[in-house]
């Protein structure tokens, strides 16, 4: 890459031990954090990765050397940490060690303020400048950093959830099973307790984190796995989380996969029927069908940049209560400040119980436009404006579909990938056009 960056679209993330996730950068970033936030006591959590152990040690060293008390609350979902921090006056912030949906060899760090919200871009940029200025002349001194452990903090989040959802057991008792896939990650620590407490008979899968199996062939990235399980077990719903629990994908009783756009539609329809007329916030990746249905309801549709913090910023700016991404990263602002897979799944189930309908009935109301996403591994970033083949691809898509199509091409903020998304009403035509250009683009990257 031509320019070094520590922060991406979701905190710091990379291969554990490699730039930007090295001991030196983690220590210096933690040190400079206290210059922009008033910190005395901070909670630290992780999503079960093996590398989280040494990262936690470095974080504690950075906090201790800055006069900040760190408290290890164990493996819990990112939204759980955010809510615990926000609900308590005792803590000034939180640090989540997580690479979200990425494989186990990746890890990352998300810094949260006292309201449980991620740092603003301008703060991250200032910290990044200082760290990059120091890094060449800095040597990290190994220490055995540690802090107090308090693994009972998760009860604060669980109690909050149960105070918000009181689904009538009389409505749920004849429903049958829910299959829940925890992606061998953070939700394995609480999901069964929460869903059982509101009245559901749960069948838990991929709930045995080893430190190396998070997101491996399971969870929200592989919803076809839970779809198969729903059919085999005659379940009435399936719920698949990602590694740190801020995403959710659901499956109806027929095995149909309901992605974030369909879930957003179900939520919007429910809110709208109850008088909601504020905007719905999606991203540049959100399906055209969702935008059209929102506008048919008389609801404005706002497209934010990819990344839940950018969705959140647009929600605040437009006073929206509902926003999210196709990936299942959905924010309900009357419940939380960040994407929360458990809250979203429970809200969908609540809507289901109150309507007396099935997931397949309410999910089929939104017919998504075919969308093809290509991820191309890269060794370097070429400015997209100078990329002849990409311009040709965009022009051909536009001409073929008479402007009734969308092409989104961007570099990932968290992985060495070029992402190409094309959306239109004919999947075969999209595929044929993409096949013409993908090989040429790969040759350059």
Residues annotated catalytic, as ranges = 100
Q: Which residues, 6 or more positions from 139, have their beta carbon under 8 angstroms from its beta carbon?
A: 24
87: nearest Cα among 335, 340, 347, 310: 335
| 260, 325 Cβ separation under 8 angstroms | yes
DSSP per-residue string spanning 70-137: EEEEEE--HHHHHHHHHH-SS-SEEEEE--TTS-TTEEEEEEE-TTSPBPPHHHHHHHHHHHHHHGGG
> In the structure encoding, which two tokens stand for residue 307, read together?
């990344």
Strand order across the 301-304 sheet: 301-304, 280-283, 322-324, 330-332
β-strand 237-241 against 201-205: which pairing, if any?
unpaired
| Dist. CA 64–CA 85, nearest whole Å | 19
d(CA 81, CA 109): 13
Alpha helices in 213-340 (DSSP H): 223-232, 260-273, 288-296, 308-318
User: Given the DSSP bridges, would you call strands 201-205 and 177-181 parallel, antiparallel or unpaired?
Assistant: parallel
């Amino acid at each position: 890459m031509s320019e070094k960056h520590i922060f991406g679209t979701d905190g710091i993330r990379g291969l554990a031990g490699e730039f930007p996730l090295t001991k030196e950068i983690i220590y210096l970033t933690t040190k400079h954090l206290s210059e922009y936030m008033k910190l005395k006591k901070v909670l630290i959590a992780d999503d079960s990765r093996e590398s989280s152990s040494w990262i936690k040690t470095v974080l504690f060293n950075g906090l201790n050397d800055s006069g900040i008390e760190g408290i290890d609350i164990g493996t819990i979902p990112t939204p759980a940490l955010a809510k615990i921090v926000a609900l308590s006056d005792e803590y000034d912030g939180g640090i989540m060690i997580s690479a979200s949906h990425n494989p186990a060899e990746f890890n990352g760090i998300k810094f949260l303020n006292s309201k449980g919200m991620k740092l603003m871009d301008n703060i991250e940029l200032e910290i990044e400048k200082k760290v990059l200025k120091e890094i060449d002349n800095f040597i990290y001194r190994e220490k055995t950093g540690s802090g107090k452990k308090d693994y009972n903090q998760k009860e604060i989040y669980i109690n909050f959830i149960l105070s918000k959802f009181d689904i009538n057991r009389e409505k749920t008792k004849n429903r049958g099973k829910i299959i829940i896939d925890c992606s061998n990650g953070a939700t394995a620590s609480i999901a069964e307790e929460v869903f059982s407490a509101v009245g559901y008979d749960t069948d838990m899968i991929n709930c045995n984190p080893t430190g190396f199996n998070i997101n491996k062939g399971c969870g929200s990235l592989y919803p076809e796995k839970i779809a198969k399980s729903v059919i085999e077990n005659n379940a009435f719903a399936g719920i698949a989380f990602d590694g740190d629990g801020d995403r959710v994908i659901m499956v109806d009783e027929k095995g149909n996969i309901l992605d974030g756009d369909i879930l957003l539609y179900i939520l919007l329809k429910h809110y709208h029927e109850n008088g909601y007329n504020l905007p719905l916030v999606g991203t540049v990746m959100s399906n055209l069908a969702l935008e059209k249905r929102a506008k048919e309801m008389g609801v404005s549709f706002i497209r934010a940049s990819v990344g839940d913090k950018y969705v959140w910023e647009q929600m605040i700016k437009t006073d929206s209560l509902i926003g999210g991404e196709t990936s299942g990263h959905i924010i309900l602002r009357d419940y939380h400040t960040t994407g929360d897979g458990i809250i979203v799944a429970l809200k969908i189930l609540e809507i289901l119980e109150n309507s007396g309908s099935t997931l397949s009935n309410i999910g089929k109301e939104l017919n998504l436009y075919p969308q093809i996403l290509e991820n191309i591994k890269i060794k370097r970033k070429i400015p997209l404006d100078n990329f002849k083949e990409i311009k040709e691809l965009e022009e051909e898509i536009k001409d073929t579909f008479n402007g009734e199509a969308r092409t989104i091409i961007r570099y990932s903020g968290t992985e060495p990938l070029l992402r190409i998304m094309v959306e239109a009403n004919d999947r075969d035509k999209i595929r044929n056009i993409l096949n013409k250009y993908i090989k040429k683009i790969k040759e350059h990257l």
